[in-house]
Structure 1
Amino acid sequence: MGNSNKKITTCFMFNGKAEEAMNFYTSVFDQSEINSVFHHEDGTVLHATFTLKGQTFMVMDNSNKQEHPFTPAISLFVTCDIEEEINRVFKQLSQDGKILMPLAAYPFSEKFGWVEDKYGVSWQLNLISPLMNLDTR
């Protein structure tokens, strides 16, 4: 794992769907893998880590059985390198979820979309064009 000096890692707490969500996310994004999974005796996830596009995340299942929903007030902002990638990822994440902002051109982006996936996690997807990477200072 190349981020051994990293001090802050995003951690998601799911209500019994941590392993399913982790498998889904690693199937959606290129350069992704599951690093480790530890289970409770009942099969739910005690602690797991996975990597998406070089970024490490942690997941666990809620052991107190109370519902703690996600909110779009915190989202994952993903920079996509090519149009095919943003189209594919948007389609996969929005399936059985909901579209918060349709995939389109906006004044701040050539192509942008915001979705809440079927697990309630919010994703902002942005296509960076070569022209937008120019330093205009």
Structure 2
Amino acid sequence: MQKVTTFLMFKGKAEEAMDFYTTTFKDAEKINVFHNEDGTVLHGMFSIKGQTLMCIDSMQNQKFSFTPGMSLFVECDTVEELEELFSKLSEDGNVNMPITDTPVSEKFCWVDDQYGVSWQLNVSKAK
């Protein structure tokens, strides 16, 4: 069992975000969703590449959202996978760093998606 789990708090779009992520990533699935009476997400679980994430919709209007200072780092299997994820995740989002090579990466990029979640996408250099 995973001992540390990423937990995302959305402003009324948790289920929409889960649906987006589980259709954007090939190895992803929605595990379960419990709803409040108003239809918002009380607790949701989904996985991406074998990593479980949890989420909720905030019951209160918070003064904060996501920050790129905390991001989800995804090791992609191919450059094509990285490019596809970059395209989908950056649509209606923000590109913090375009696709480039780095000393340790064949390709790397950093984007904030339409929900404000920050993603670092990487294809490591062959050893």
Query: Residues 94-113 of structure 1: matches in 2 within 5 Å?
Result: 94-113=90-109
* Offset, 1:68: 2.5
Moved over 6 A (4+): none
RMSD between aligned alpha carbons? 1.0
* Offset, 1:110: 1.3
TM-score, structure 2 length as denominator?
Answer: 0.96
- Tell me the residue number matched to 2:51: 55
Q: Distance in 2 between matches of 1:77 and 1:6?
A: 17
- Tell me the residue number matched to 1:9: 5
Q: Distance in 1 between matches of 2:64 and 2:29?
A: 26
Query: Residues 1-137 of structure 1: matches in 2 within 5 Å?
Result: 5-129=1-125, 131=126, 134=127
TM-score, structure 1 length as denominator?
Answer: 0.89
Q: What secondary structure is seen at the aligned counterpart in 2 of 1:106?
A: coil
**Any stretches of 5+ residues in structure 1 without a counterpart?**
none
The question of whether the paired residues in 1 share the 8 Å contact of 2:104 and 2:124 is answered with no
Residue identity matched to 2:37: E
Number of positions where the alignment pairs a residue of Structure 1 with one of Structure 2: 127
Q: Percent identity?
A: 54
